[in-house]
Amino acid sequence: MTGKRLVIEPARRALRGSVAVPSDKSISHRALIFAALSNGNCTLRRFSYGEDNVSTLQAFVAMGVQIADNGPGEVAVRGVGLRGLREPDRPLDCGNSGTTMRLMTGVLAAQPFRSELVGDASLSRRPMGRVVFPLVQRGAVITGRRHPSRSHEVTAPLEVGALVGKQLGGLDYRLPMASAQLKSALLLSGLFASGPTRLSEPVVSRDHTERMMQALGMPLRAAGATVELQPLTDAMAIPGFELDLPGDLSAAAFVLVAGLLVDQSEVTTRHTGLNPTRCGFLDAVRQFGGDLAVAPRGSSLNEPHGEVSTRSSRLRAASIGGELAVRSIDEIPILAALAARAVGTTEFSDVDELRVKESDRIAATVRLLGAFGVEADEHPTGFVVRGQPDGALKAGRVDSGGDHRLAMTAAILGLVADGPTFIENVDCIATSFPRFVETLSALGATLRVEG
């Protein structure tokens, strides 16, 4: 199935304006989870119905949680408490969403009923052993399928057994990689455990789960790359809450890079999430010499937000690796578009986790750049890009391979190409940025979806 095609014309005029971006995907997942497990009525504002978040929402509806749409972006959740989820009568479909599958596995591992988690073709190839093994270590009963080519790896569908008359135990665990999905799955399972959950990561991954747990009064302490959640006492409950969801910096990144690449442009994304563990993109843009302004505006449930603006800039090559790579992991494909227009050769290192995202994003990004005539070479844990700052890029036909971030990166490169760019298979954009086309159009770009 190839799905719809996006056609984007080279920008013939500056992009200008201030736009809203979809609600932060990571925070929206967590907000739905904590709201469903709360003992109160919760209101989530600015919720944007990206398909990944809808997968999490529907999983809770299937387990008896009442979730209502109150009109423009407002979602009301009536929490059922930590012990109130009901056995679903069908497999929970996580679609394309790794966050749904991994975080929900943490919640389901502790339930007194059995459940099954399934996903689309891309999600069914992604590694789940990283979540399954430590959960089994603390007493969960989970079985998956052996990966077709990596026999030590476990993939979906995952079957989670019922824990009847038993409780998960404490866990002392060193994560083999920086992964917020893994860390969050283990912390969520820790809400139901009899002992503490002590975790350490090689580098701190995004800390939305920790921030939300602390804001909601859970007994969690974080210091550097370690985090400790104490077992809950019987009297402890998650209170009802209200949250004004910040916009997703990972989505804003596409708009902001468009502003940097197209001549004479000046663009702003409003109400954009500015959690420091997510702001690697901003530091990377500064390294590329991009003209960037950030205006903090406030915070909701410990999550800061503000306005971010970019202006077209002459870019120089950068070097992205180590903790900066972790803090910008989802933005590496769009940062590669900046590298494509920078003077010099940019090196992306320590990004091997990209090989197990929605696609192998190292190989896919290098291929995508090649389709625009930009030289790039991959190595096992990263890739290099030789910038082509002058003249238009070669326009072409590309296929997203079903990866939303690759589809949107191709669209932004198309703005500085020498003719219309045709991008096949773009339905996936709706997983994270349902109004992508409308948002770029509002800034002055010319693009349309066909098919």
Active site residues: 330
How would you label 308-346 residue by residue, b for 16+ Cβ within 10 Å and e otherwise? bbbebbebebbebeebbbbbbbbbbbbbbbbbbbbeebb
Among candidate residues 274, 217, 240, 225, the one with its CA nearest the CA of residue 31:
240
342 forms beta bridges with 315
The Cα 131–Cα 110 span in angstroms is 14
Residue with Cβ nearer ligand S3P (210 or 330): 330
The Cα 144–Cα 89 span in angstroms is 19
The Cα 312–Cα 183 span in angstroms is 38
The full 3-state SS of 417-433, as one line of letters, equals ECCCEEEECCHHHHHCC
Residue with Cβ nearer ligand S3P (212 or 371): 212
Supply the minimum distance, in Å, between the C-beta of residue 25 and ligand S3P: 7
Among candidate residues 206, 212, 208, the one with its CA nearest the CA of residue 280:
206
The Cα 425–Cα 439 span in angstroms is 19
Contacts of 303 (CB under 8 A, 6+ apart): 24, 27, 208, 211, 212, 246, 273, 275
Residue with Cβ nearer ligand S3P (99 or 300): 99
Supply the minimum distance, in Å, between the C-beta of residue 432 and ligand S3P: 8
Q: Which helix (H) or strand (E) holds 447?
A: strand 447-450
The Cα 366–Cα 362 span in angstroms is 6
Are 150 and 128 in contact by the 8 Å Cβ rule? The answer is no
Residue with Cβ nearer ligand S3P (307 or 358): 358
Supply the minimum distance, in Å, between the C-beta of residue 353 and ligand S3P: 5
Residue with Cβ nearer ligand S3P (209 or 439): 209
Supply the minimum distance, in Å, between the C-beta of residue 202 and ligand S3P: 12
The Cα 157–Cα 119 span in angstroms is 7
Task: State the residues that interact with ligand S3P by CB under 6 A.
Answer: 26, 29, 99, 179-182, 184, 205-206, 329-330, 353
Supply the minimum distance, in Å, between the C-beta of residue 207 and ligand S3P: 10
The Cα 213–Cα 218 span in angstroms is 5
- 56-to-39, 141, 296 alpha-carbon distances in Å: 19, 22, 29
75: its two tokens = 């979602």
Are 434 and 8 in contact by the 8 Å Cβ rule? The answer is no
Residue with Cβ nearer ligand S3P (115 or 209): 209
Residue with Cβ nearer ligand S3P (184 or 346): 184
Residue with Cβ nearer ligand S3P (210 or 427): 210
Supply the minimum distance, in Å, between the C-beta of residue 303 and ligand S3P: 13
Supply the minimum distance, in Å, between the C-beta of residue 96 and ligand S3P: 11
113: its two tokens = 């009923």
Supply the minimum distance, in Å, between the C-beta of residue 270 and ligand S3P: 22
| Angle at the Cα of 349 from the Cα atoms of 315 and 120, rounded to 5 degrees | 100
